[in-house]
C-alpha cells in the first residue's frame, strides 16, 4: 500500500547501480535509502553538512521488501518518515516509488543516536525530538 510522506528524496539511477540483469541491484536500494536519510536529517534540521562528517546516527536494523525492479532511466523517489522515537533510537519507515506511482520497495530502519568519540549510543537529544515532532507534525 502506497503511503504519503512529508519528506521525499529524488534519486537519479546511475548506470553503475545496475546488475547483470539490467535492473538496480538489491543492495543499491539501501544506498538510495541512505541518501534519503541524510536529506531527511538536513531537512529536519538536526544535522548540517560541513559541521561534521558524522550525523550522530548509526544503523541498527534495516528491513526491506522488494516489490518491483527499477531500470536505468527511470525516475524514483524515496519517501521517508520517523514512525517512532525511543530513548536512544528512531524507527523510520520508507518507500521507494517510481514516477508512475508504482512501489519498488518499502521497509523500515532503526537508527540509534551515537557518540562516535565515546563509541557509545546516547539518548536522543531533546532538540532532535522537538525538531522531528514539528517536522512530522506528530507527537511521539
Write the pLDDT tens digit of every residue in 2-58.
789 999 999 999 999 999 999 999 999 999 999 999 999 999 998 888 777 788 999
CA distance 41 to 55: 8
Write the pLDDT tens digit of every residue in 75-92.
999 999 999 999 999 999
- The mean pLDDT of 113-134, rounded to a whole number, is 95
Return the number of other C-beta atoms located less than 10 Å from residue 84's C-beta: 12
Residue 53: per-residue pLDDT: 74
Measured between alpha carbons, how far is residue 42 from residues 21, 45, 135 in Å?
Answer: 35, 5, 11
**How open is the CA angle 34-132-53, to the nearest 5 degrees?**
40
Is the pTM above the cut of 0.85? Answer: yes
Residue 89: per-residue pLDDT: 98
Amino acid at each position: 500500500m502506497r503511503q504519503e510522506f512529508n519528506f521525499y528524496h529524488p534519486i537519479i539511477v546511475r548506470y553503475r547501480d545496475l546488475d547483470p540483469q539490467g535492473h538496480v541491484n538489491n543492495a543499491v536500494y539501501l544506498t538510495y535509502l541512505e541518501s534519503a536519510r541524510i536529506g531527511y536529517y538536513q531537512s529536519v534540521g538536526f544535522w548540517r553538512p560541513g559541521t561534521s562528517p558524522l550525523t550522530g546516527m548509526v544503523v541498527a536494523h534495516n528491513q526491506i521488501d522488494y516489490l518491483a525492479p527499477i531500470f536505468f532511466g527511470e525516475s524514483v523517489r524515496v519517501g521517508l518518515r520517523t514512525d517512532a522515537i525511543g530513548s536512544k533510537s528512531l524507527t523510520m519507515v520508507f518507500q521507494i516509488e517510481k514516477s508512475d506511482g508504482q512501489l519498488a520497495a518499502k521497509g523500515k530502519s532503526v537508527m540509534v543516536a551515537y557518540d562516535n568519540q565515546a563509541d557509545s549510543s546516547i539518548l536522543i537529544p531533546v532538540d532532535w525530538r522537538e525538531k522531528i515532532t514539528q517536522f512530522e507534525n506528530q507527537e511521539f
